Chain A
Amino acid sequence: GAVVSQHPSWVICKSGTSVKIECRSLDFQATTMFWYRQFPKQSLMLMATSNEGSKATYEQGVEKDKFLINHASLTLSTLTVTSAHPEDSSFYICSARDYKGSAYEQYFGPGTRLTVT
């Protein structure tokens, strides 16, 4: 099956710094990727939809200047958390969409745990 990777799997950063998370589709091209956020013992909340070569579409309530998304190639999307604060600590999961015949399949990465101290 299709594989989506994320890097890093775990990152600790200091308050006020920025951190970048990468999401790669390893064996398929993904024109669309999605970024989710998951707090402990909670569900996945969609943050934004990332489209290759164009601006990301953010869900209501998500600060686009805080969470910068770049989808510069068909296999890579990045999420940069700018000026991170402890409340940004969370588990971030990306998902990539692959067109399979007559429908889209969506594959999930293993997630990135961000801890802001």
Chain B
Amino acid sequence: AQTVTQSQPEMSVQEAETVTLSCTYDTSESDYYLFWYKQPPSRQMILVIRQEAYKQQNATENRFSVNFQKAAKSFSLKISDSQLGDAAMYFCAYKADKIIFGKGTRLHILP
């Protein structure tokens, strides 16, 4: 069975600094997608970034980028120039036929 592990329940970062959230996963599939979702207090799931497993190039979306290491089954999220609005729960997710989520990392932004 596929699993997604986020080993950091909470993290804090100073505003304008850079922070990296860790995620590892386990799968025997070769074709899949990986995601980072943000869940603010409203609890609406917001897609931050996605990565297709067949692509070697790391995905980037403005201040958000990933470090995808397929062999190591690692998928970390880097947030650059952290802003107060980045404070939220961040979930790493894996999808072959359905999306499964890690336990999440709560990110605090310190002003």
- Which residues of chain A have a CB within 8 Å of any CB of chain B? 34, 38, 42-46, 49, 91, 93, 95, 103, 106, 108, 110-111
Residues of A within 8 A of B100 (CB): 46
CA distance A108 to B43 in the complex (A): 10
Nearest CB on B from A106, distance (A) = 6
Asked if residues B98 and A49 are in contact (CB atoms below 8 Å), the reply is yes
B44 at the binding interface (Cβ < 8 Å): yes
How many contacting A-B pairs (Cβ < 8 A)? 33
Asked if residues A106 and B95 are in contact (CB atoms below 8 Å), the reply is yes
Who on chain A is nearest to B35 by CB?
A106
Residues of B within 8 A of A44 (CB): 45, 91, 101
- Which residues of chain B have a CB within 8 Å of any CB of chain A? 33, 42-45, 91, 95, 98-104
Main secondary structure of the interface of A (DSSP, over half): strand
Who on chain B is nearest to A59 by CB?
B98
Residues of B within 8 A of A106 (CB): 95, 99
Q: When the two chains form the complex, which single residue of B33, B43, B101 contacts A110, counting CB atoms closer than 8 Å? A: B43
Residues of A within 8 A of B91 (CB): 43-44
